[in-house]
Structure 1
Amino acid sequence: MNLTRIFDLIPHQISSYDKAVALARKEDGKWKTYSSKDLKQIVDNLGLAFLSSGITAGDKVAIISENRPEWNFVDFALQQIGAISVPMYPTITSEDYAYIFDHAEVKMIFVGDQEIYGKAAAVAGDRTIYAFDQLDGVAHWSILEKKGESGDLLKLEDSKSLIKPDDLFTIIYTSGTTGKPKGVMLSHTNVLSNVLSVSNTMTPPPGVSKVLSFLPLCHIYERTGSFCFIYLGFSVYYAENMEKIGENLKEVQPHVFNTVPRLLEKVYDKIVAKGYELTGVKKNLFFWALNLGLKYDPSGNMGSWYDFQLKLANKLIFSKWREALGGNVMQINSGASALQPRLARVFWAAGIKVCEGYGLTETSPVVSASVGTEDGIRIGYVGKVVKDVQVKIAEDGEILVKGPNVMQGYYREPEMTAAVLQNGWFHTGDIGELDGEYLKITDRKKEMFKTSGGKYIAPQVMENKFKESVLIEQLMVVGDGKNYPAALIVPSFDGLREYCKRKDIPYLTDGEMISNSEILEKYQEEIDGLNKYFAKWEQIKRFKLLDKPWGIDTSELTPTMKLKRKVIYQKFEKEIESIYQA
Structure 2
Amino acid sequence: MKPAQTPDHRVLADTALPPGVAEGRATMPGLLRHRARQTPERIAFREKTRGIWQGTTWAGYFERVRAFALFLQQAGFGAGDKLVIASDGTPEWFIADLAAQSLGGVTVGIYPTNPWPELQYIVRHCRAKVAVCGDQEQTDKVLEAMRRDGGLPDLERVLTVDWKGLRHYDEPMLMPFEQALAEGRALAQQPDRSAAWELVVDALDAGQDALIVYTSGTTGMPKGARISHAGILSDAAALGAVQGFAGKPLTVVCYLPLCHVAERLMSPVMQLVYGSIVNFAESIDAVTHNLHEIGPSFFFGVPRIWEKLQYEILIKSRDARPIARRAFTKALAIATPIAERTIANGGRPVGRRDAFVAWLLRVAVFSNLLAGVGLDRTWVAMTGGASISPSVILFFRALGVPIYQIYGMTETSGASHSQSAALSRLGWCGPLLPGVVAQRVAADGELQLRGAIVFNGYLHDEAATRAAFDDGWLRTGDIVELDEATGQVQIVDRKKAILITSGGKNITPSLIENALKESLYISEAVLLGDGRHFVSALIQIDLDTVGKWAQERGMAYTTYETLAQLDAVRELIADDVKRVNERFSRVESIRKFALLKKQLDHDDGELTATMKVRRRVIEQKYAAEVAHIYGSEKVTA
Q: TM-score range by the shorter chain?
A: over 0.9
**Which of the residues 563, 571, 574 maps onto 1:524?**
574
Q: Is residue 395 from structure 1 mapped to residue 443 from structure 2 by the alignment?
A: yes
Deviations 1:503-551 (A, max 9, x none): x463434545544444433322211211122222111111111243223
The residue aligned with 2:431 is 384
Give the conservation status (yes or no) of the 8 Å contact 2:86–2:134: yes
2:590 partner SS: coil
Q: Is residue 214 from structure 1 mapped to residue 255 from structure 2 by the alignment?
A: yes
Percent of aligned positions that are identical: 30
CA distance in 1, matches of 2:278, 2:564: 43
Deviations 1:246-289 (A, max 9, x none): 22112222111221001111111222233333453332222223
**Which of the residues 362, 366, 384 maps onto 1:335?**
384
1:139 partner SS: strand
Deviations 1:468-499 (A, max 9, x none): 11221211111221111101111223333444
Q: Superposed, which structure 2 residues align to 1:263-282 within 5 Å?
A: 263-278=305-320, 280-282=322-324
Inter-CA distance 517–61: structure 2 relative to 1 (3 Å threshold): closer
Inter-CA distance 317–205: structure 2 relative to 1 (3 Å threshold): farther
Offset, 1:114: 0.8
Q: Is residue 352 from structure 1 mapped to residue 385 from structure 2 by the alignment?
A: no
2:396 partner SS: helix
**Which of the residues 161, 164, 171 maps onto 2:205?**
164
Matched AA of 1:489: I
| Alignment size in residue pairs | 579
Q: Is residue 230 from structure 1 mapped to residue 252 from structure 2 by the alignment?
A: no
Give the conservation status (yes or no) of the 8 Å contact 2:249–2:297: no
Q: Superposed, which structure 2 residues align to 1:245-284 within 5 Å?
A: 245-278=287-320, 280-284=322-326
Deviations 1:351-383 (A, max 9, x none): 112121011000001111123x3x242221112
1:157 partner SS: helix
Inter-CA distance 305–495: structure 2 relative to 1 (3 Å threshold): farther
Deviations 1:315-336 (A, max 9, x none): 3431123212433111122110
Q: Superposed, which structure 2 residues align to 1:48-127 within 5 Å?
A: 48-124=70-146, 125=152, 127=156
**Which of the residues 177, 180, 190 maps onto 1:144?**
180
Offset, 1:425: 0.6
2:129 partner SS: strand
Give the conservation status (yes or no) of the 8 Å contact 1:276–1:498: no
CA distance in 1, matches of 2:568, 2:69: 64
The residue aligned with 2:7 is none
CA distance in 2, matches of 1:173, 1:487: 30
Give the conservation status (yes or no) of the 8 Å contact 1:203–1:331: no
1:33 partner SS: strand
Q: Is residue 321 from structure 1 mapped to residue 369 from structure 2 by the alignment?
A: yes
When normalised by structure 1's length, the TM-score is 0.94
Inter-CA distance 195–154: structure 2 relative to 1 (3 Å threshold): same
Inter-CA distance 279–576: structure 2 relative to 1 (3 Å threshold): farther
CA distance in 2, matches of 1:303, 1:535: 37
Inter-CA distance 359–549: structure 2 relative to 1 (3 Å threshold): same
Give the conservation status (yes or no) of the 8 Å contact 1:51–1:81: yes
Matched AA of 2:455: M
The residue aligned with 2:233 is 192
Q: Is residue 2 from structure 1 mapped to residue 20 from structure 2 by the alignment?
A: yes
Give the conservation status (yes or no) of the 8 Å contact 1:294–1:342: no
Inter-CA distance 147–287: structure 2 relative to 1 (3 Å threshold): same
Larger mean Cα displacement after TM superposition, 104-113 or 282-291? 282-291
CA distance in 2, matches of 1:518, 1:192: 52
RMSD of aligned alpha carbons: 2.2
Give the conservation status (yes or no) of the 8 Å contact 1:213–1:257: no
The residue aligned with 1:288 is 330
**Which of the residues 425, 438, 447 maps onto 2:473?**
425
Offset, 1:300: 2.8
Offset, 1:406: 0.6
Q: Is residue 179 from structure 1 mapped to residue 220 from structure 2 by the alignment?
A: yes
2:343 partner SS: coil
Inter-CA distance 128–186: structure 2 relative to 1 (3 Å threshold): same
Larger mean Cα displacement after TM superposition, 274-283 or 224-233? 274-283
Give the conservation status (yes or no) of the 8 Å contact 2:539–2:594: yes
The residue aligned with 2:9 is none
Q: Is residue 23 from structure 1 mapped to residue 45 from structure 2 by the alignment?
A: yes
1:2 partner SS: coil
CA distance in 1, matches of 2:95, 2:408: 26
Deviations 1:105-128 (A, max 9, x none): 111111001111111111134631
Larger mean Cα displacement after TM superposition, 542-551 or 513-522? 513-522
Deviations 1:291-313 (A, max 9, x none): 44444323235567665654443
CA distance in 1, matches of 2:431, 2:465: 27
Give the conservation status (yes or no) of the 8 Å contact 2:228–2:456: yes
1:473 partner SS: strand
Give the conservation status (yes or no) of the 8 Å contact 2:245–2:274: no
The residue aligned with 1:133 is 162
Give the conservation status (yes or no) of the 8 Å contact 2:30–2:202: no
Q: Where in structure 2 are there 5+ consecutive unaligned residues? A: 1-18, 147-151, 633-637
The residue aligned with 2:511 is 461
1:123 partner SS: helix
When normalised by structure 2's length, the TM-score is 0.86
CA distance in 1, matches of 2:623, 2:336: 37
Larger mean Cα displacement after TM superposition, 564-573 or 287-296? 287-296
Offset, 1:165: 1.6
